[in-house]
């Protein structure tokens, strides 16, 4: 049975529009899939998802998909709906209903929308086009035979409350304080009534003094309890916040490199910011509301004892105020997603502005980049203004219902006093109770906001927590290395995107002998760096296998394998830390002797010892500026310090002059002895002493042999290094 209202799911970030559209359509036909499940089948890259990727994902869950170009008339009369439409040349939306002049759209970025024909055509058709792109989807018997997939992420609130469990002793203290505070609240109305009825009316000053002193003592006691409660909440909040963020970072560290290929830095930073909302909900909001609920129950009972009619009016008025606020919750949710995306874009833009400042100045693009930033701020301002407007509507309606309720209650209480059914003291007690109950009720409404914010943040975090880790904890991995430690590549193939994309590596067969130097050369884009990343287990092969001796490398623990590897990548990273700590990365205690050995091998000892603080000089983005050549030498020193069994160099000396490179390569020759070395380079001087040279082109091996053999053959290798050979002669 199809739903009366078209199901809607928000995308979690800018890359999710395609899988989110497919998720909505699957739900429309009665199947529930998590976003993570469909993302994994859509082959998302940093550029986003393609129509082909969404089509592959649809067919993997038993749907028949057809990509077409269609006119408006074909969409209205012939297309099977719901269908996925390519929107604004960079987005996907679901078209689920079309009439003569209107189109109903589910946009994963903005919600359920209705467009006029002209508005829709403007977004769907390209400039000057009369046809738009559609992905038509139909169910097959296989679709209904598949079981629903449930999310792997721990998105439930039970996961969050698990963080409170270790601090149950503090929670017991809060509960005791809550009961004491409620007892004080219970006493105050009766003291107020007694003050008027038995003190003021009887003109008994001594009784009045006694009651006022009692109220003062109760007030001081309640204030003390509130202070202790606030301290406990602060303590809890700090500890829980650290635990949540720490768990998130632990999860990030366990993710495969492919995960970061599809995420912007701003998205990840914004998700870390989401933890603050969750922490506030867990500590400040939820526990304060629990205290308010107890107070509301106690005071409500007392109010009902005074007058059931007044209690009913209070309940009705407060319910109307809450209902008014709930009317705007969906709009707040939509705005929150827009704000998240805009803040994420803002973060990424600011990082680029700072990191790219030299290029901005060189190309005189200061004004253009500033305009880009201002456009983002303008978008953020519009979102904030819309949020403020919704808040004002919510507050105005809530205030109206609350004030109307208070006026009606005051009128009823006054009428009861005039009629002799209630004393003046009872009326003041009722007024006190109403005033005290308004605050807890407002906090309950605030809980709805906070719970919604926490749920939205939790959905975004659940996407990360639900992703498979680089090492499956349930899968047993090999930790003992075989006697034969040579690397054997058999039928290796790899592609970065979906099954229809071009192979980066194709049908590679290669042996990398133990204790020998293997050089890999080839034109740019031939797959050299990709092969290196597969050897380091950054990505699993698409086809074939890599074996360490006779054991599949996929069965080895990734951390243990990389512990045996020293690597210098062409885009290697230096942290904002001291020179020594950058070289001894991964060691808690720095071995001074190993550092000296490493810097000598990398021919950078003289430079480091010439720095004001020598090995304690801070480098990286926030430290001493280094040239690209100096940075490469530090990265080489890091690899040497590790003293690994395997060394992988990817253009490790490309930024060095010929003299420095020659010195370093001579220094490393001794270090290479007994180690398995793979070098990727373009320079003849770097590779000509290798025991084996492999020529790659378009992901395939063209030639292999020694320098002398390949130069004499005058094939692909000779053509690559011909100019260098002529210069050498």
Rounded-to-10 torsion of CA 596, 597, 601, 607? 0
Given 145, 178, 207, the domain boundary residue is 145
Q: What is the pLDDT of residues 626-639, one digit of tens each?
A: 888 888 899 999 99
| CATH number reported for the structural domain that contains residue 314 in this entry | 1.20.1560.10
Same structural domain, 240 and 134: no
DSSP codes of every residue in 106-161: EETTTEEEEEEHHHHHHHHSPTT-S-EEEEEEEE-HHHHHSPPPPP-S--SHHHHH
User: Percent of the chain scored above 70 by pLDDT?
Assistant: 90
Same structural domain, 121 and 239: no
Band of residue 1 on the pLDDT scale cut at 50, 70, 90: very low
Tokens 């914010």 -> residue? 453
Average pLDDT for residues 2-6, to the nearest whole number?
68
Same structural domain, 101 and 241: no
Higher pLDDT, 1 or 46: 46
Report pLDDT for 669.
85
Cα gap 562→529, rounded to integer Å: 16
| Token digits of residue 490 | 């058999």
Same structural domain, 353 and 431: yes
Report pLDDT for 386.
85
Backbone angles phi, psi at 50, to 5 degrees: -95, 165
Residue 243 lies in a domain: yes
Residue 153 in this model has a pLDDT that exceeds 50: no
Cα gap 709→711, rounded to integer Å: 6
Same structural domain, 64 and 171: no
DSSP codes of every residue in 380-422: HHHHHHHHHHHHHHHHHHHHHHHHHHHHHHHHHHHHHHHTTSS
**Confidence (pTM):** 0.68
Backbone angles phi, psi at 676, to 5 degrees: -90, 120
| Token digits of residue 413 | 């209480």
Residue 449 in this model has a pLDDT that exceeds 90: no
Which strand (E) or helix (H) includes residue 719? helix 716-728
Q: What is the pLDDT of residues 578-607, one digit of tens each?
A: 989 999 987 888 899 999 999 998 889 988
Q: What is the pLDDT of residues 491-547, one digit of tens each?
A: 999 987 666 667 888 889 999 999 999 999 988 888 899 999 999 998 889 899 999
Given 125, 145, 165, the domain boundary residue is 145
Same structural domain, 139 and 176: no
Q: What is the pLDDT of residues 648-661, one digit of tens each?
A: 999 887 777 778 88
Backbone angles phi, psi at 46, to 5 degrees: -65, -25
Residue 82 in this model has a pLDDT that exceeds 90: yes
Same structural domain, 319 and 422: yes
Residue 662 lies in a domain: no
Residue 678 lies in a domain: no
Cα gap 489→513, rounded to integer Å: 11
Same structural domain, 278 and 404: yes
Residue 703 lies in a domain: no
Residue 498 lies in a domain: no
Burial of 545 from C-beta contacts in 10 A (0-12 / 13-18 / 19+): middle
Average pLDDT for residues 92-119, to the nearest whole number?
88
Higher pLDDT, 171 or 696: 696
Band of residue 474 on the pLDDT scale cut at 50, 70, 90: low
Residue 673 lies in a domain: no
Range of the domain at 610: 574-643
Cα gap 425→523, rounded to integer Å: 93
Same structural domain, 299 and 338: yes
Q: What total of structural domains would you count in the chain? A: 3
Measured CA to CA in angstroms, residue 88 lies from 122, 124, 640 at distances of 8, 6, 51
Average pLDDT for residues 220-242, to the nearest whole number?
79
Average pLDDT for residues 203-225, to the nearest whole number?
81
Residue 654 lies in a domain: no
Same structural domain, 109 and 163: no
Residue 520 lies in a domain: no
- The mean pLDDT of the chain is 82
| CATH number reported for the structural domain that contains residue 93 in this entry | 3.90.70.10
Same structural domain, 375 and 456: yes
- Between 145-154, 368-377, 419-428, the lowest mean confidence (pLDDT) is in 145-154
Tokens 């296998």 -> residue? 545
Cα gap 270→272, rounded to integer Å: 5
Same structural domain, 91 and 217: no
Backbone angles phi, psi at 164, to 5 degrees: -80, -25
């Amino acid at each position: 049975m199809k739903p009366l209202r078209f199901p809607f799911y928000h995308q979690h970030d800018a890359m999710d529009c395609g899988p989110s559209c497919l998720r909505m359509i699957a739900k429309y036909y009665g199947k529930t899939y998590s976003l993570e499940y469909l993302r994994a089948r859509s082959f998302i890259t940093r550029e986003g998802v393609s129509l082909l990727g969404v089509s592959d994902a649809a067919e993997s869950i038993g749907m028949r998909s057809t990509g077409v170009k269609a006119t408006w008339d074909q969409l209205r009369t012939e297309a099977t709906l719901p269908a996925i439409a390519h929107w604004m040349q960079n987005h996907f939306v679901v078209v689920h209903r079309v009439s003569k002049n209107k189109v109903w759209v589910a946009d994963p970025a903005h919600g359920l929308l209705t467009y006029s024909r002209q508005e829709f055509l403007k977004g769907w058709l390209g400039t000057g086009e009369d046809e738009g792109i559609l992905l038509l989807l139909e169910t097959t018997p296989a679709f209904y035979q598949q079981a629903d997939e449930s999310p792997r992420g721990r998105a439930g609130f039970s996961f969050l409350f698990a963080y409170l469990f270790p601090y149950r002793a503090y929670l017991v203290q809060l509960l005791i304080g809550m009961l004491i505070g409620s007892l004080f609240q219970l006493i105050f109305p009766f003291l107020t009534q007694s003050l008027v009825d038995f003190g003021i009316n009887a003109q008994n000053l001594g009784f009045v003094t006694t009651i006022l002193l009692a109220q003062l003592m109760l007030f001081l006691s309640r204030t003390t309890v509130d202070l202790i409660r606030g301290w406990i909440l602060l303590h809890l909040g700090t500890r829980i916040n650290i635990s949540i963020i720490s768990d998130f970072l632990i999860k990030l560290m366990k993710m495969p490199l492919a995960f970061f290929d599809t995420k912007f830095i701003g998205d990840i930073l914004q998700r870390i910011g989401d933890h603050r909302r969750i922490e506030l909900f867990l500590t400040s909001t939820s526990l304060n509301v629990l205290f308010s609920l107890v107070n509301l129950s106690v005071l409500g009972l007392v109010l009902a004892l005074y007058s059931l009619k007044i209690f009913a009016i209070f309940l009705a008025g407060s319910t109307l105020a809450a209902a008014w606020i709930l009317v705007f919750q969906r709009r707040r949710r939509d705005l929150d997603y827009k704000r998240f995306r805009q803040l994420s874009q803002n973060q990424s833009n600011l990082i680029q502005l700072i990191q790219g400042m030299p290029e901005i100045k060189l190309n005189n693009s200061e004004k253009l980049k500033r305009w880009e930033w201002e456009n983002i701020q303008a978008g953020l301002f519009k979102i904030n203004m819309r949020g403020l407007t919704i808040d004002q509507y919510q507050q105005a309606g809530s205030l109206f219902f609350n004030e109307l309720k208070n006026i009606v209650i005051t009128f009823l209480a006054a009428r009861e006093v005039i009629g002799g059914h209630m004393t003046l003291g009872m009326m003041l007690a009722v007024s006190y109770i109403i005033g005290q109950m308004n605050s807890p009720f407002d906090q309950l409404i605030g809980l709805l906001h906070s719970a919604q914010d926490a749920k939205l943040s939790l959905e975004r975090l659940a996407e990360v927590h639900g992703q498979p880790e680089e090492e499956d904890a349930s899968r047993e991995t090999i930790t003992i290395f075989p006697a034969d430690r040579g690397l054997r590549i058999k039928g290796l193939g790899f592609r970065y995107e979906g099954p229809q994309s071009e192979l980066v590596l194709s049908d590679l067969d290669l042996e990398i002998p133990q204790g020998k130097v293997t050089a890999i050369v080839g034109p740019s884009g031939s797959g050299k760096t990709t092969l290196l990343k597969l050897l380091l287990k950054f990505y699993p092969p698409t086809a074939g296998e890599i074996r360490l001796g006779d054991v599949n490398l996929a069965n080895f623990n990734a951390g243990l394998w990389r512990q045996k590897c020293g690597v210098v990548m062409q885009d290697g990273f230096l942290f904002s830390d001291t020179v020594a700590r950058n070289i001894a990365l991964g060691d808690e205690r720095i071995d001074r002797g190993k550092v000296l050995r490493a810097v000598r091998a990398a021919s950078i000892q003289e430079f480091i010892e010439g720095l004001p603080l020598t090995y304690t000089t801070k480098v990286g983005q926030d430290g001493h500026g280094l040239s690209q050549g100096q940075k490469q030498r530090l990265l080489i020193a890091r690899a040497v310090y590790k003293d690994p069994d395997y060394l992988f160099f990817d253009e490790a000396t490309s930024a060095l002059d010929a003299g420095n490179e020659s010195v370093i390569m001579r220094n490393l020759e001794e270090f290479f002895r007994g180690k398995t070395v793979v070098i990727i380079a373009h320079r003849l001087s770097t590779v000509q002493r290798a025991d084996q040279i492999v020529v790659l082109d378009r992901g395939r091996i063209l030639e292999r042999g020694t320098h002398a053999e390949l130069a004499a053959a005058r094939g692909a290798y000779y053509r690559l290094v011909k100019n260098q050979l002529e210069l050498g002669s």
